[in-house]
């Protein structure tokens, strides 16, 4: 019988979700959708010391914003609720006990001092300083103490942890869907703590138990968890769950733009791109980190960009809607090597999606910006501005920033154009053209163009030498949307006023 695909994204709420984590969530989402399976969000908050208020809400909000919300999770509920590990604490202990009873785990009573002494001793002997098959026999645990002593300590309430008992010499092998066969020798591993002194599980125990109980079929997660995977494989085996052990897929890292090391929060701040999906206001330090959403990225663009950072479609296509990603995605095409983050490419993706986005939807998004600037214009006018400006920019707010002259007279004039092309002769021509345009029957792009051409023919002036100055007079800028369309949209009165007052305004500005 084939099992229904069930995958999970299992972040710890220790801060804002890194964009690499978002990619992990996305690959899980795509895999689940592709195979008609379930995508689960599990909050791994067993480590209360690292808990950060607001981080869980941040995770939910990020997935919602990106339109990749889970099928089951803390917000959605589901058959395996609760989805927050801190609310499942009662369930883990029995499995630790089961492992002890089966001889695969043991009680360890060592104090912090005992552990330090052990580490120093091993370091002095130039041995790996770890609690393992070799060192555990000189420590205070249920393998070295008598049964009576162990029972006495337990009854006495002495503090202890439960550690896994790793075999001394064994190769742990498992097949990773991205990396192929992974083989790790237990001599390289250590007897990890499964249950802590406070009776709470560590990540390893809680993660494996929940993946089993939640019937997870594929564990798709970041490469940083690869070293933990052999331990998890042994836990599945020792708990008797090997038959239904999930398949593993460890995703390579998202690298800094220069490829040297993992993309970090600092890189974003330094190089001017966000590394978090949403803006994050750190509750402790008050530090604010920028987010894709607040920086004007469209969720579709972020998803498309992330999908291609580490996964390669079979052709060279770059633009994929979410549905198309679902269709095309496969773990076989996930790359083993790290993917370099490329800020220019991120902006390029945003531009592509901005171009596709409906003008009326963009209009709704810039409404506030227009109000803040005291600009008022009809819906049709705003949409026409958007239609002209979106080709020129990468982000929605830039439409109003770069196209402000659609709403007010230019406040500055491109210096280069002024220096190169603005002179008395040009001013004279511009005034004449303004006159002609003022008396046009219809102020349309076609009429404007033909009237200008006639003027150029009559005066013998090179039309090219006037185009940029006209644009300058009307918009202040050296470039922009197609000139006659722009002028027609601005309207007769505005254009004539700007053309006839430009000389004075430029002189005032440059004096
Ligand atoms: N809680 C781990 C994390 O924060 C989950 C790792 C896993 O997916 O197994 O990334």
Q: Which two tokens stand for residue 185?
A: 């020798």
DSSP state of 141: B
Does any ligand 1 atom lie closer than 6 A to the CB of residue 250? no
Pairs from 262-270 (Cβ < 8 Å, separation ≥ 24): 262/20, 263/18, 263/19, 263/20, 263/341, 265/18, 265/289, 267/341
pLDDT at 509: 79
Ligand 1 nearest-atom number relative to CA 44: 1
Instruction: Measure 290 CA to ligand 1 centroid, in angstroms.
Output: 24
Asked if residues 188 and 169 have their Cβ atoms less than 8 Å apart, the reply is no
* Separation between Cα atoms, residue 85 and residue 206, nearest integer Å: 7
- Whose tokens are 């202990």? That residue is 93
Ligand 1 nearest-atom number relative to CA 21: 10
Does any ligand 1 atom lie closer than 6 A to the CB of residue 471? no
Supply the residues annotated as catalytic: 265
Does any ligand 1 atom lie closer than 6 A to the CB of residue 207? yes
3-state secondary structure of 180: strand
Ligand 1 nearest-atom number relative to CA 11: 4
pLDDT at 268: 81
Does any ligand 1 atom lie closer than 6 A to the CB of residue 12? yes
Each residue's pLDDT tens digit in the chain (511 positions)? 689 999 999 999 999 999 999 999 999 999 999 999 999 999 999 988 888 999 999 999 999 999 999 999 999 999 999 999 999 999 999 999 999 999 999 999 999 999 999 999 999 999 999 999 999 999 999 999 999 999 999 999 999 999 999 999 999 999 999 999 999 999 999 999 999 999 999 999 999 999 999 999 999 999 999 999 999 999 999 999 999 999 999 999 999 999 999 998 888 878 888 999 999 999 999 999 999 999 999 999 999 999 999 999 989 999 999 999 999 999 999 999 999 999 999 999 999 999 999 999 999 999 999 999 999 999 999 999 999 999 999 999 999 999 999 999 999 999 999 999 999 999 999 999 999 999 999 999 999 999 999 999 999 999 999 999 999 999 999 999 999 999 999 999 999 999 999 999 999 875 4
Instruction: Measure 452 CA to ligand 1 centroid, in angstroms.
Output: 66
Q: For the sheet with 161-164, list strands across it.
A: 105-108, 161-164, 193-195
Cβ atoms within 10 A of the Cβ of 191, count? 24
From 6, 7, 11, the mutation candidate for ligand 1 (largest count of ligand atoms within 8 A of CB) is: 11
CA-nearest residue for atom 2, ligand 1, is 11
From 7, 85, 204, 222, the mutation candidate for ligand 1 (largest count of ligand atoms within 8 A of CB) is: 222
Does any ligand 1 atom lie closer than 6 A to the CB of residue 348? no
Does any ligand 1 atom lie closer than 6 A to the CB of residue 218? no
Cβ atoms within 10 A of the Cβ of 86, count? 16
pLDDT at 510: 55
CA distances from 31 to 75, 221, 316 (A): 21, 12, 21
Residue whose C-alpha is closest to residue 4's, from 68, 64, 72, 59: 72
Residues sharing a CB contact under 8 Å with residue 313, sequence separation 6 or more, in sequence order = 320, 328, 333
Residues sharing a CB contact under 8 Å with residue 86, sequence separation 6 or more, in sequence order = 43, 45, 46, 48
Does any ligand 1 atom lie closer than 6 A to the CB of residue 13? no
Sign of the four-CA dihedral 195, 199, 203, 207: positive
Asked if residues 241 and 124 have their Cβ atoms less than 8 Å apart, the reply is no
From 29, 225, 245, the mutation candidate for ligand 1 (largest count of ligand atoms within 8 A of CB) is: 225
Q: Which pTM was predicted? A: 0.92
pLDDT at 48: 83
Compute the 3-state secondary structure of the chain and give helix, strand, coil in percent, each to the nearest 5. Answer: 50, 10, 35
Instruction: Measure 232 CA to ligand 1 centroid, in angstroms.
Output: 12
Instruction: Measure 51 CA to ligand 1 centroid, in angstroms.
Output: 14
From 17, 83, 84, 221, the mutation candidate for ligand 1 (largest count of ligand atoms within 8 A of CB) is: 221
């Amino acid at each position: 019988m084939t099992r229904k695909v069930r995958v999970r994204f299992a972040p710890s709420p220790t801060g804002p979700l890194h964009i690499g984590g978002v990619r992990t969530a996305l690959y899980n989402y795509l895999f689940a959708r592709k195979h008609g399976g379930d995508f689960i969000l599990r909050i791994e908050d067993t480590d209360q010391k690292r808990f950060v208020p607001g981080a869980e809400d941040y995770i939910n909000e990020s997935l919602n914003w990106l339109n990749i919300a889970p099928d089951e999770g803390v917000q959605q509920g589901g058959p395996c609720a609760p989805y927050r590990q801190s609310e499942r604490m009662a369930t883990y202990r029995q499995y630790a006990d089961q492992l002890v009873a089966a001889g695969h785990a043991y009680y360890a009573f060592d104090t912090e001092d005992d552990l330090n002494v052990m580490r120093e001793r091993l370091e002095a002997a130039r041995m790996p300083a770890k609690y393992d098959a070799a060192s555990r026999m000189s420590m205070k645990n249920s393998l070295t103490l008598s049964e009576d002593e162990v029972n006495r300590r337990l009854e006495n309430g002495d503090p202890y942890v439960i550690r896994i008992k790793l075999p001394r010499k064994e190769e742990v092998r498992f097949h990773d869907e991205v990396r192929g066969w992974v083989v790790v020798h237990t001599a390289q591993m250590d007897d990890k703590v499964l249950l802590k002194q406070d009776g709470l599980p560590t990540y390893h125990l809680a993660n494996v138990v929940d993946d089993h109980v939640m019937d997870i079929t594929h564990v798709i997660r970041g490469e940083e968890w690869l070293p933990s995977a052999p331990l998890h494989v042994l836990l599945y085996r020792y708990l008797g769950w090997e038959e239904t052990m999930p398949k593993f897929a460890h995703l390579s890292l998202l690298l800094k733009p220069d490829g040297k090391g993992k993309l970090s929060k600092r890189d974003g701040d330094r190089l001017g791109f966000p590394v978090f999906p949403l803006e994050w206001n750190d509750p402790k330090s008050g530090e604010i980190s920028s987010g894709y959403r607040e920086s004007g990225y469209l969720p579709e663009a972020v998803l498309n960009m992330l999908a291609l950072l580490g996964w390669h479609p079979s052709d060279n296509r770059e633009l994929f809607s979410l549905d198309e990603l679902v269709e095309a995605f496969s773990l076989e095409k996930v790359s083993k090597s790290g993917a370099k983050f490329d800020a220019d490419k991120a902006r390029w993706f945003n531009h592509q999606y901005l171009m596709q986005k409906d003008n009326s939807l963009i209009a709704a998004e810039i409404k506030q910006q227009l109000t803040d600037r005291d600009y008022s214009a009809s819906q049709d006018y705003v949409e026409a501005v958007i239609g002209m400006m979106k080709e020129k920019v990468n982000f929605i707010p830039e439409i109003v920033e770069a196209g402000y002259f659609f709403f007010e007279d230019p406040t500055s004039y491109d210096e280069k154009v002024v220096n190169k092309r603005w002179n008395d002769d040009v001013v004279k021509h511009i005034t004449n053209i303004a006159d002609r345009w003022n008396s046009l029957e219809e102020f349309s792009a076609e009429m404007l163009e033909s009237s200008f051409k006639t003027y150029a023919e009559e005066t013998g002036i090179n039309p090219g030498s006037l185009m940029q100055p006209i644009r300058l007079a009307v918009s202040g800028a050296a470039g922009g949307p197609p000139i006659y369309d722009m002028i027609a949209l601005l309207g007769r009165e505005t254009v004539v006023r700007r053309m006839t007052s430009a000389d004075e305004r430029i002189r005032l500005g440059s004096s």
